[in-house]
Amino acid sequence: MSKYTRIKNGECSFTIKEDFDSVEKAANSSNEGTNAEVKIENIKLDFTTVKKEQDDGNKKSSTKADGQAKEKE
C-alpha cells in the first residue's frame, strides 16, 4: 500500500501565552513558561504539494534484473 504526504505552505499570525512565577523569568525570552496557549490567526495558504513515499523495502535490484548496467566478465 502506498502512502502519500500532503504539505501545506503558507503564512499566519500567532500569539503564545505562557505563565511565569516572576516578572524576571517572564522578561527573559529564553525561559519557557508553563500552561502555554497558542492562538493562530490570519492563515493564508500559498500552495499545497503531495508526495508519494518511496517504498524500497521489497525491491531487490541487480544488473541482470533491471538492465541498468552490464556486468563485467
- Boundaries of every domain in the chain: 13-52
Tell which residue, 13, 55, 20, has the closest CA to residue 38.
Answer: 13
pLDDT confidence of residue 54 = 80
Judge whether 20 and 26 are in contact, CB under 8 Å: yes
pLDDT confidence of residue 1 = 79
CA pair distance 28, 26, nearest whole angstrom:
6
pLDDT confidence of residue 57 = 58
> Going residue by residue through the chain (73 aa), what tens digit of pLDDT does each one get?
789 999 999 999 999 999 999 999 999 999 999 988 999 999 999 999 999 988 765 555 555 555 555 555 5
pTM score: 0.49
Judge whether 13 and 43 are in contact, CB under 8 Å: no
Label residue 23 left, alpha or beta by phi (over 0 means left) and psi (-120 to 50 means alpha): alpha
